[in-house]
């Protein structure tokens, strides 16, 4: 059996690209939300943290001119392949959301699926927001979603032991992949550490490989983000609690719409 320690941290290749599309399926309604905004964009749309192209391809299909930025070369390669196969012209770039310079501006910047939470320090969040503001047209829109788990952690505990989370079939190999998950959250640093194990089961029911990954995400409270956005040149236009426009209840999903001012 093969074992691999794929991801070390919040940085490059933390996602075990081979399993990304099988496991990281997004937040309910996110694709339609971002695509609907992109369709209305008065210019090009940049997706920051585009991963394997789950959202970027949908934006392009909605008719938007799209660019995608990510620091994981493996995920970008998947995205490039899918776009080429679908005949979609998307500009891909490798870079860090806290310090990128694409030399152009966009009508909208989207940061879907809690990607902003990869920034583990407030200083990096500020650098990223300034960078995004620099890449937006005047009045350009910044759309992103994040997650504040405090309500859930208070109810369920700050740590959870390693347990089976889900399983799926790897379309490349036909192997069943069983995913195990554990978490530890530190309320001081607001960092959630997630361990994931992808166990691949061969046709004879025997495990043929295990891949270990570790994801670190920082959560931010509603008012923390309100102040960060205001301090970095944005006006908050809406904060929703889901992608259908539901009210934000004070915890859980935070769907942000902000305007560069």
Please choose, out of 65-73, 145-153, 197-205, 248-256, the segment that lies near ligand SAM by the rule CB under 6 A. 65-73
- Asked if 135 interacts with ligand SAM (CB under 6 A), we say no
Please choose, out of 90-98, 224-232, 238-246, 249-257, the segment that lies near ligand SAM by the rule CB under 6 A. 90-98
Please select the residue that binds ligand SAM; options are 19, 23, 33, 113, rule is CB under 6 A: 113
Please select the residue that binds ligand SAM; options are 49, 58, 198, 199, rule is CB under 6 A: 49
Please select the residue that binds ligand SAM; options are 6, 23, 33, 115, rule is CB under 6 A: 115
Question: Smallest distance from the beta carbon of 75 to ligand SAM, in angstroms?
Answer: 5
- Asked if 97 interacts with ligand SAM (CB under 6 A), we say yes
Rounded CA separation 165/261 (Å): 42
Question: Smallest distance from the beta carbon of 85 to ligand SAM, in angstroms?
Answer: 17
Please select the residue that binds ligand SAM; options are 72, 145, 199, 200, rule is CB under 6 A: 72
- Asked if 22 interacts with ligand SAM (CB under 6 A), we say no
Please choose, out of 110-118, 163-171, 185-193, 253-261, the segment that lies near ligand SAM by the rule CB under 6 A. 110-118
232 CB neighbour count, 10 Å cutoff: 19
User: In the complex with ligand SAM, which residue's Cβ is closer, 24 or 158?
Assistant: 24
**Residue numbers of the site for ligand SAM (CB under 6 A)?**
15, 24, 26, 49-51, 54-55, 70-72, 75, 96-98, 112-115, 118
């Amino acid at each position: 059996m093969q074992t691999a320690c794929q991801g070390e941290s919040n940085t490059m290749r933390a996602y075990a690209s081979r399993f990304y599309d099988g496991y990281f399926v997004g937040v309910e309604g996110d694709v339609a939300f971002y695509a609907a905004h992109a369709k209305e964009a008065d210019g090009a749309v940049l997706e920051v943290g585009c991963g394997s192209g789950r959202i970027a391809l949908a934006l392009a299909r909605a008719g938007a001119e799209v660019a995608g930025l990510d620091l994981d070369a493996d995920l970008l390669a998947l995205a490039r392949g899918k776009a080429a196969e679908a005949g979609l012209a998307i500009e891909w770039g490798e870079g860090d959301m806290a310090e990128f310079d694409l030399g152009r501006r966009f009508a909208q910047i989207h940061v879907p699926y809690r990607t902003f939470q990869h920034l583990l320090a407030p200083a990096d969040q500020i650098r990223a927001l300034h960078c995004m503001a620099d890449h937006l047209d005047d009045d350009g829109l910044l759309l992103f979603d994040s997650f504040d788990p405090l309500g859930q952690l208070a109810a369920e505990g700050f740590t959870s032991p390693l347990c089976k989370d889900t399983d799926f079939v790897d379309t490349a190999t036909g192997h069943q992949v069983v995913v195990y998950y554990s978490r530890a959250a530190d309320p001081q640093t607001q960092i959630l550490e997630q361990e994931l194990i992808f166990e691949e089961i061969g046709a004879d029911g025997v495990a043929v490989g295990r891949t270990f990954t570790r994801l670190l995400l920082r959560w931010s409270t509603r008012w923390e983000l309100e102040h960060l956005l205001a301090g970095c040149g944005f006006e908050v236009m809406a904060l929703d609690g889901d992608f259908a426009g539901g009210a934000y209840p004070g915890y859980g999903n935070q769907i942000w719409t902000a305007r560069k001012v």
